A and B are shown apart, each in its own frame.
Chain A
Amino acid sequence: MKFPWPWKPFAVMAAFAVIITVPRFVPQWYNWRVYEWETAGSVLDFQPRRHPGQPFEEEAERLRPTAPAAEDPLKIADPHGAMEAFYVSLLRTERREPGAVTRILHYGDSPVTADLITADARTLLQERFGDAGHGAYLIAKPWAWYGHRGLDVKSEGWRSDPATLRGQKDGWYGLGGVSFTGAAGAWSRIRIRKPGHTRIAISYVGQPGGGELAVRSGELEVGVLDTAAPEEAALRQWFDIPPQEEEIELRVTRGKVRLFQVELFKPGPGIVYDSIGLNGTWAGVLAWHMNARHWEQQLREAQPDLVILQYGTNESGYRKYIDSTYPRDFVEVLRRIRAAVPEASLLVMSPMDRGVRESGGAVGTMPTIPHLVAVQAKLAAENGCAFFNTFEAMGGPGTMGRWYMAEPRLVSADFIHPLPAGGRIVGTLLYNALMDGYNAYKQRVLRQTVASGRQPGAVKPQ
């Protein structure tokens, strides 16, 4: 019998193997390699037995902070006492001192854009310390999924320029990183689900020939904002609104206006938690796209007690960037914030886990994530910032895969963006970490007070 060896198919396979191997040995083609032969041995990797996804309650129980503080990823690493200013303000707020508002600016990338993590942290903090208002909200939706829990916005006629796209040559993007330009007829209606706000502040650009904006609260006209000014300047105008009103309308009545954000406040004491999610942002956007002087002015006007920076998801796709210019960009962002609000606490919050599909079909952690988290921790420590390791607090490597398999699912199928239940876990982790630090601070204050016999408020914590 003739030996039935399939020569041509075999030749195709051999030639294919040669073609995909060649780029390994030609330096100019190195980036075109598509297969690492070293991984071929993983065909013998047998999978451990997997159980169906953990239910949410079990996952939440696992995440409860019980481990000792020194090695606990669920706590904020704060060797320089960078959080003290925030805790001091929080203590005043908790004591219900008149006008004691603690304001938190939480900057983040796409996971924050839909207010998923920040909304839960805001709710928990305001339940405990009081509600001093929603804080900043963009004039319109620059991205379809932009939205804040408790507010709805409908709008028409605005051109939005996010800082990521550098649509504005002057680099003025307000506090929230987006500039909105509208001509007569452009409007925004913000519906407030939790009324009680008594003041709003609209940030805008005063400019020669600037247009006019009518501000209404329900049926009541609360004021007119004339944006005409002798020279271009970023300005902020306050308006009082009736606390029972559930809707604010902004309408351009004449000319062209350029706005940034509207901030909503209630009478304190309480917490204002601003969720500032910029879709697709990386450190370079805050460091270079946004005009330094303008952004510093916006930060100064906001008077935050704590600024949280939660970036890294977008950077994680670019290992070379992380190892080259990322540290410079990140330090520049910290420098800008420090220059604007030197008295505020600064907390670096690492990105969440980011999943990637492995060859066996399982979802593992993108290899750059632990590296990026380590880089951020180092930069935070070197620059006197507090650091919260979101990645480890969530459960470390492979979390996205576990969360994707959980029932209900905690993360969307891109293994990047949390679903509301996942956002609630991360928001709760942040809240718990902030409260752990705060409780430790209060204990220190109490000990010092007892030792000195002075009033607690007079103690400057060490």
Chain B
Amino acid sequence: MLLSSSIYFVFLAAVFLLYWPLQRWRAASLAVLLFANLFFYARWDLNYLALIPAAAFLDYCIGLGLGAAKSRLLRRGLVASSMVLNLGLLAAFKYMPFFLGAWGAATGAKPPEWHWVFPLGLSFYCFQSLTYTIDLYRRDGKPVRSLLAHMASVTFFPTTLSGPITRVLALAPQMEKTGRALSAEDGGRAFWRIGVGLLKKFLIADYLAENLVNRVFDTPGLYTGTETAVAVYAYAVQLYYDFSGYTDIAIGSALLLGLKLPENFNRPYLALNSSEFWRRWHISLSNWLRDYLYFSLPGLRSRRRWPTYVNLFVTMLLGGLWHGANWTFVVWGALHGAALAVHHGFRAARGNPPPGGWAARLGARLLTAHFVIFAWIFFRASSLDNALEVLGRLASMTVSFANVSLPVAVVMAVGIAAHFLPKKYTEWCSALYVRAPFYAQAAVLALVVLAIEYVAITGAAPFLYTQF
């Protein structure tokens, strides 16, 4: 059940209608949420019904243990067992085919078949779950006493597939609070986010993917250098609108249930450097990597600088691998790790540069954006060979735009312009929508659906980040 499918909205409406009448009874409303979450998992695969509740229950128990334990050794043991549990889940149910393939390649033996793969959402679940036990280990919060609240927050359905990765200690207290009301303003904002998310997904991301990006990356040899370059730019636009569209729908869905999720994007291609890019792109993952991986690596308090650079590189390398067991993600992570290390080194040597004039800022933005877009080639390519093929076409210097249709160019232009549009304009539109009477809000949503129906006739592709 994709967040962009009509069936998801039937499901969301049903949850809404069940949840709000039971709001005054904490256990009942939590039970509705937990049931909805497990239903959502089960729609993907019934096996999740055994896997996720069992893992969540173990983390709940570990959390209680961490709240009670005084011994440092015991606390370490508990947090380590949570890490083994969650990373073990990832290794067994997501990365096992990769490990078996590597083992087969190394030994020459035929690797055994492994059909127990549950890739959808597992990375996000595990990271979300780890925030809980690591936060408790660091004494950044108190254990969630209610099993229902813990399980409902760690499996919260809008965040299941692609985040935003939400700290359990931030979400559970919201869920535990009884007697909450959904104001007309929050309701309006929720519908606005959902509508905008659908437009981003269908009218920009999917359109570019179907009409240019996928074709070029599937068979780069059939396209000229300039067409390939346009497809690479188009992929940068597609990825942003696909993922931020998903995030908008997730945030809007949660808001309809009176729950606030963290933002995940802030016009990322406006970043002046790679460090700033990661404060604007997939913010919840960047924060997770910083708080739970980078800060945990040894050597951070060293007086020497190189451990910082090594840690940045390692963090991004592992962040790359988190996206999937493929060498392309390793290269992508390494490129970003190297860029972050270079930027930190530059800043350490020269200090924070002054803001500079508009030309300098524009140059910095263009340089950063182009580095990011270059790295996306590895992120999108199906294999390293495929990435090299795309790079080879870019280097061919062949010129033709025969395969870039006018609608594709227009959609790209609209996408780029909307990304750079100052926030005050989008906020003004949002406020206008929120103030509108209910029938106008409904009519606008219907228009959005109608536009999507007549443009995206082949149906929505899965959100790109659901595979990670």
Q: Is the CB of A34 within 8 A of B7?
A: no
Q: Is the CB of A360 within 8 A of B43?
A: yes
Whether a CB of chain B sits under 8 angstroms from the CB of A145 is: yes
Nearest Cβ distance between residue B32 and chain A, in whole angstroms? 14
Nearest Cβ distance between residue A204 and chain B, in whole angstroms? 25
Q: Is the CB of A357 within 8 A of B219?
A: no
Q: Mark A348-374, 1 if CB is under 8 A from B, else 0.
A: 000000001111110000000000000
Nearest Cβ distance between residue A359 and chain B, in whole angstroms? 5
Whether a CB of chain A sits under 8 angstroms from the CB of B276 is: no
Q: Is the CB of A412 within 8 A of B117?
A: no
Q: Is the CB of B458 within 8 A of A4?
A: no
Whether a CB of chain B sits under 8 angstroms from the CB of A43 is: yes
Whether a CB of chain A sits under 8 angstroms from the CB of B224 is: yes
- A40: chain B residues at CB < 8 Å are 7, 10
Whether a CB of chain A sits under 8 angstroms from the CB of B439 is: yes
| 21 A-B interface contacts by CB (under 8 A) | A1-B179, A12-B438, A12-B442, A15-B438, A15-B439, A34-B449, A39-B6, A45-B43, A46-B42, A51-B115, A144-B227, A144-B400, A144-B402, A144-B403, A145-B223, A359-B6, A360-B1, A360-B43, A412-B219, A413-B214, A420-B219
- A412: chain B residues at CB < 8 Å are 214-215, 218-219
Q: A9-B182, A360-B43 are in contact. Are A413 and B16 (CB under 8 A)?
A: no
Whether a CB of chain B sits under 8 angstroms from the CB of A169 is: no
Q: Is the CB of B460 within 8 A of A19?
A: no
Q: Is the CB of B24 within 8 A of A9?
A: no
Q: A13-B16, A15-B442, A413-B218 are in contact. Are A361 and B2 (CB under 8 A)?
A: yes
Nearest Cβ distance between residue A49 and chain B, in whole angstroms? 6
Q: Is the CB of B446 within 8 A of A5?
A: no
Chain A residues proximal to chain B, CB less than 8 Å:
1, 3-16, 18-20, 32, 34-35, 39-40, 42-43, 45-47, 49-52, 114, 143-145, 147, 356-361, 409, 412-415, 417, 419-420
Contact of A9 among B190, B439, B461 (CB under 8 A): B190
Contact of B97 among A8, A52, A357 (CB under 8 A): A52
Chain B residues proximal to chain A, CB less than 8 Å:
1-2, 5-7, 10-11, 13-14, 16, 20-21, 23-24, 42-47, 97, 115, 117, 179-184, 187-188, 190-191, 209-210, 214-215, 218-219, 222-224, 227, 256, 382, 400, 402-403, 438-439, 441-443, 445-446, 449-450, 453, 458-462
Give Cα distance in the complex from A43 to B180, angstroms.
Answer: 28
Nearest Cβ distance between residue B238 and chain A, in whole angstroms? 12
Q: Is the CB of B222 within 8 A of A147?
A: yes
Give Cα distance in the complex from A359 to B43, angstroms.
Answer: 12
Q: When A and B form their complex, which 5 residue pairs have the shortest distance between CB atoms, in order from nearest?
A: A357-B459, A9-B187, A15-B442, A413-B214, A4-B181
Q: Is the CB of A359 within 8 A of B446?
A: no
Nearest Cβ distance between residue B171 and chain A, in whole angstroms? 19
Instruction: Kindly list 16 other residue pairs between chains A and B, CB separation below 8 angstroms, not including A6-B182, A417-B215.
Output: A4-B24, A4-B179, A8-B184, A12-B187, A12-B438, A13-B442, A16-B445, A40-B10, A43-B10, A46-B42, A47-B44, A356-B459, A357-B460, A360-B2, A412-B215, A413-B214
Q: A144-B223, A145-B222, A412-B218 are in contact. Are A13 and B13 (CB under 8 A)?
A: yes
Give Cα distance in the complex from A10 to B183, angstroms.
Answer: 11
Q: Is the CB of A9 within 8 A of B191?
A: yes
Q: Is the CB of B458 within 8 A of A414?
A: yes
Q: Is the CB of A20 within 8 A of B446?
A: yes
Considering residues B11, B219, B446, B449, which has the most beta carbons from chain A within 10 angstroms of its beta carbon? B446
Q: A5-B20, A12-B441, A34-B453 are in contact. Are A47 and B45 (CB under 8 A)?
A: yes
- A1: chain B residues at CB < 8 Å are 24, 179
Q: Is the CB of B7 within 8 A of A39?
A: yes
Nearest Cβ distance between residue B39 and chain A, in whole angstroms? 9
Q: Is the CB of B1 within 8 A of A361?
A: yes
Q: A6-B181, A43-B14 are in contact. Are A415 and B43 (CB under 8 A)?
A: no
Q: Is the CB of B45 within 8 A of A49?
A: yes
Q: A16-B445, A47-B45, A114-B222 are in contact. Are A52 and B187 (CB under 8 A)?
A: no
Q: Is the CB of A49 within 8 A of B400?
A: no
- A361: chain B residues at CB < 8 Å are 1-2, 5, 460, 462
- A147: chain B residues at CB < 8 Å are 222
Contact of B21 among A5, A39, A47, A51 (CB under 8 A): A5
Q: A12-B187, A40-B10 are in contact. Are A419 and B219 (CB under 8 A)?
A: yes
- B14: chain A residues at CB < 8 Å are 43
